[in-house]
Amino acid sequence: MQSKFNVIIACLKQQFSQSFGRSMFRFCIFGQPIIYGLILGMMYLNRSGEEFLIYVLFGSGIVSFWSSICFSSASDINRERFMGTLESIFVAPAGFKNIIIGKIIGNTFWGLVSMIISSTFVLIVFRKPFTIDSPLLLATAFLLMTLSFIAIALFMAGLFTLSRNTRLVMNSLEHPIFLLCGIVFPVEILPRFIQPISYLLSPTWAIKLLRLSVIGGHTKEKFFYLVGLSILTLLYWFLGHLLFKKIDYKARVKATLGVY
């Protein structure tokens, strides 16, 4: 257990510094949060403080957080394959899954930085007053959301390892996810036949919890969304684990891990 932890920490540190060397990644961390904060802030400038807090302060931060963790982490697999190092890290004694988790957590820290930048920008520029009903629920929801995003990133990294065609799907889904999960406006605005899809995605449940932490709500309602988010997070972790077992089989039996 200690050796696995050391591997994850070492990969985290390497990923933290290596990611910063890419100009596009720096833009996603420092530039994109400000752009999203400005656009959403103008959209909700004349709305209530509660809506402004949920869809601007939280929304712009979560959008940047999502991009940093999920899509950057999944793209790391493609970069390793392009550089010809995917096979090397797969057979490393440190363990392929441990290395990928370390990379994902490294990107998570950058995602937190982007969220802080976005929140600070929104607070300084718009100066919109707001109140939070339950800080404890807010902290719990944020922690569960972070764990869920890491699980999604692990699942996507597994998909990316098994197939090189997922990048097109990944890029085309980034902005629809913002809309489907109610990050920039309520899910209830969507057509009814689409809403069930929204509740298969954990960010929807996280946004609901963040909303309840701001406006308040019944204990049963809070508990319902906490349990729902926890179940989805565990499901993503389980699916990610299955994918990495499939990767191990494909690499050892078919020897097609790095084949284009």
Higher pLDDT, 5 or 115: 115
243 touches 249 (CB < 8 A): no
Region 175-201: mean pLDDT is 83
69 touches 123 (CB < 8 A): no
Report the pLDDT value the prediction gives residue 170, as an integer from 0 to 100. Answer: 66
Residue 94 inside a domain? The answer is: yes
State the sign of the Cα–Cα–Cα–Cα dihedral 199, 203, 204, 208.
Answer: positive
HSE-up of 1 (CA within 13 Å, CB side)? 0
Residue 27 inside a domain? The answer is: yes
Residue 165 inside a domain? The answer is: yes
Res 197 pLDDT > 60:
yes
Residue 259 inside a domain? The answer is: no
Higher pLDDT, 21 or 112: 112
Residue 99 inside a domain? The answer is: yes
Which band of pLDDT confidence, cut at 50, 70 and 90, is reported for residue 171? Answer: low
pTM for the model stands at 0.86
Indicate the Cα dihedral angle 118, 160, 207, 172, nearest 10°. 80
Q: For all residues of the chain together, what is the average pLDDT?
A: 81
Residue 51 inside a domain? The answer is: yes
Residue 13 inside a domain? The answer is: yes
Indicate the Cα dihedral angle 186, 188, 192, 198, nearest 10°. 40
**Per the structure, how many domains does the chain have?**
1
Region 49-59: mean pLDDT is 81
Residue 260 inside a domain? The answer is: no
Q: Which domain, by its residues, includes 164?
A: 2-254
